Structure 1
Amino acid sequence: MAANTTARLGALGRAELTLLVRNRTALFVALLMPLSLVLVIRSSLDQVDLGAAGMSVIEAALTGGIGMVLLMVVHTNLVSAYVARREGLVLKRLRTGEPSDREILTGIALPSLALALAQCALLVTGGAALLDVRAPQRPVLLAAGVLLGLVLMTALAAATSAVTRSVDSAQLTTLPMFLVSAMGSGLFAPLQVFPERIASLCELLPLTGVMTLVRAGWLGGGDTKELLGAALTALAWTVISVFAVQRWFRWEPRR
């Protein structure tokens, strides 16, 4: 049974990778956009005092870059992929075969997840080797944050596809998540630089918990209570997203 599942996931992943390579726009967004936005983050932080947050501008930019990878490579890219396969009747045909619903959604996500992992690894190793950034202080915590972010963004992408009518409209339906996360989840600026009341609200956003774990894993800091709260927030959003997928995900074109 496990071997059959692995084989089906591999076949779905290879097919999706072929489609991703052929789609130049999606490939550009997945490969170049997240890393280029690291430069945007860095320039936007030049006037921000990060001393209280215990990090340098380049450290804030690189950890924020991991968040950008999760948003652009996983969430944005997968919303378009799920909608494109739905509108092309691919999902409907796949459901008539052996793969389960979970295998179909996971198989389509595999290339984006693998690419996101590779880019996160590049940011960490490149930052430590070339940019004089300290090596991850707690690698296990950093890896846990990234993996949790991958699962969360995949589930959110599937949920977002349910309200997305076409591939073109995916640019609009993914924009709120991008803007809210970029401004309020600590990508462009750590929550420590925000007023306390605003920071408390931002802690409840979907990606905030993941970013808290990522920064604590890479740069250190964060007490047990803070990290546990961040993990629970991210897990809660994951459960909500999975429920939304089970309840509202569309397998056939919208009419």
Structure 2
Amino acid sequence: MSTATTTPTRRHRPLAALAKAEYLQFRRNTTLLVMGVGFPVVIPLLSFFVIRQNEGASATLAATTFEMFLLMALLFVQYYSVLSMITARRSEGVLKRLRTGEASDVQIQAAPMVPGAVLTLTGTIVVSAVVYAAGSPAPVNPILMGLALIAGIAIFSLLALATSALTKNAEAAQITSLPVMAIAFVGLSTIRGILPDRFQQVADLTPFAALSDLMSLGTSGQLATASGSTALDFGATFAEIGQPVAILVVWTALALELTRRNFRWDDRG
């Protein structure tokens, strides 16, 4: 009995230790901390209060605020921090050394995701508290908001691991991250809304577009590009998640396959 109960704990100890070490490194990086707090939390909330003064608090404004938060948190906290940290560890030979220890490959790859995920979840709590305390209507479907958040953390972490194969060092991450960032920005509802129909259909297939639609459905009961239409109720929102979820599944599978095929544990490998 004791063996059965202690084995799972032992299996998770390497991940906990690695995640703690990554968190300590993350906390010492002033640039990542500023990006993690200033960009995702401060900027969306400033925009929220400026617009609220003129138009009042509304479900649409809340959806726009959460979309901006989600974009900045996933790109500048989750994606960029994982990309820069995993690339730096590889350049320093840390990844190669860790593979000789108790941690599995998956645990070594997952550890750098933890600090950004914690900061993103904390930022979500702060933004939610401020937005809804300021008088915004209650979210239509919080489950979809949580799904968008968790799925976003997972997929942008995987995209960071895939991108690291093309990144020689932490400084080069500023260049190699641009394609993913460009794809993410195209998925913004404001950009999709001004594109010609044919290009909008393509933009709807990007991962952040799917996340934006899930977040908007959860917040306001409308798809991100369907502002002005009748808001759906809690149950009806689930009928609209088929395409966004399918898009996220495809992108997750693609990122996993790219990581499996191309991830490098050593600069010489």
Normalising by structure 1, we get a TM-score of 0.87
**Looking at CA atoms only, which structure, 1 or 2, has the larger radius of gyration?**
2
SS at match of 1:168: coil
Confirm whether residue 106 of structure 1 aligns to residue 106 of structure 2. Answer: no
Gaps of 5+ in 2: 1-6, 53-57, 224-236
Match of 2:36 among 11, 30, 40: 30
Confirm whether residue 12 of structure 1 aligns to residue 18 of structure 2. Answer: yes
Offset at residue 229 of structure 1 (A): 0.6
Alpha-carbon separation, structure 1, partners of 2:247 and 2:117: 21
Alpha-carbon separation, structure 1, partners of 2:67 and 2:119: 17
Confirm whether residue 129 of structure 1 aligns to residue 133 of structure 2. Answer: yes
Confirm whether residue 181 of structure 1 aligns to residue 171 of structure 2. Answer: no
Q: Deviations over 1:5-40 (max 9, x none)?
A: 322111011100111111111222222222344268
1:1-255 equivalences under 5 Å are 1-38=7-44, 56-57=60-61, 59-130=63-134, 132-182=135-185, 184-186=186-188, 189=190, 191-222=192-223, 226-254=240-268
Aligned residues: 245
* Partner amino acid, structure 1, of 2:214: L
Change (3 A) 1:55 1:139: closer
Offset at residue 198 of structure 1 (A): 2.3
- Moved runs in structure 1, 4+ residues, more than 3 A? 39-43, 54-59, 190-195, 222-226
Partner of 1:49: none
SS at match of 2:83: helix
Alpha-carbon separation, structure 2, partners of 1:140 and 1:58: 16
Alpha-carbon separation, structure 1, partners of 2:191 and 2:216: 9
Same amino acid, percent of matched pairs = 27
Checking the alignment, whether the CA contact within 8 Å between 1:62 and 1:127 is kept in structure 2 is no
Change (3 A) 1:190 1:216: farther
Offset at residue 225 of structure 1 (A): 5.6
Change (3 A) 1:135 1:193: farther
Alpha-carbon separation, structure 1, partners of 2:239 and 2:143: 17
SS at match of 2:35: helix
Change (3 A) 1:254 1:166: farther
Alpha-carbon separation, structure 2, partners of 1:198 and 1:41: 28
Q: Deviations over 1:107-157 (max 9, x none)?
A: 221111111111122222221113x22222101111111111111011001
Alpha-carbon separation, structure 1, partners of 2:238 and 2:255: 26
